[in-house]
Amino acid sequence: MTLRIVLALVVLADVLSAIGIVFARHEHRQLFIELTRLEKARDELNIEFGRLQLEQATWAESNRIDQVARTRLGMAFPETRDIVVVRP
């Protein structure tokens, strides 16, 4: 009688262990899929960030700023005769 109980407990433990393994593998697959999705999103954001840095560098170039100041704002460097030095 005790041998049957021990055998039943061993079979039950075996079945529970198998179910645990299946659950763990399923969880691993789900987490791997999520990791892959997040890595792809990270890579896309890194590409976008690099593009935005390049665009910012282009807009911030001094010759572009000078061109916009001259054409849109009508600004120009002052002539030497227009410069006044103020001393304390």
Give tens-digit pLDDT for 26-84.
Answer: 999 999 999 999 999 999 999 999 999 999 988 888 888 888 888 988 888 888 888 89
Contact 69, 75 (CB under 8 A): yes
Q: Which two tokens stand for residue 11?
A: 């079979």
| Confidence at residue 26, expressed as pLDDT on a 0 to 100 scale | 98
The answer to the question of residue 83 being in a domain is no
Instruction: Tell which wins on pLDDT, 58 or 24.
Output: 24
The answer to the question of residue 35 being in a domain is yes
The answer to the question of residue 88 being in a domain is no
**DSSP assignment string, 6-28:** HHHHHHHHHHHHHHHHHHHHHHH
The answer to the question of residue 79 being in a domain is no
State how many domains the chain has.
1
Band of pLDDT at residue 5, cut at 50, 70 and 90: very high
Q: Which two tokens stand for residue 53?
A: 């840095």
What CA–CA distance (Å, rounded) separates 27 from 24?
5
The answer to the question of residue 84 being in a domain is no
The answer to the question of residue 53 being in a domain is yes
State the residue range of the domain holding 69.
Answer: 2-73
Q: Is the pTM of this model over 0.75?
A: no
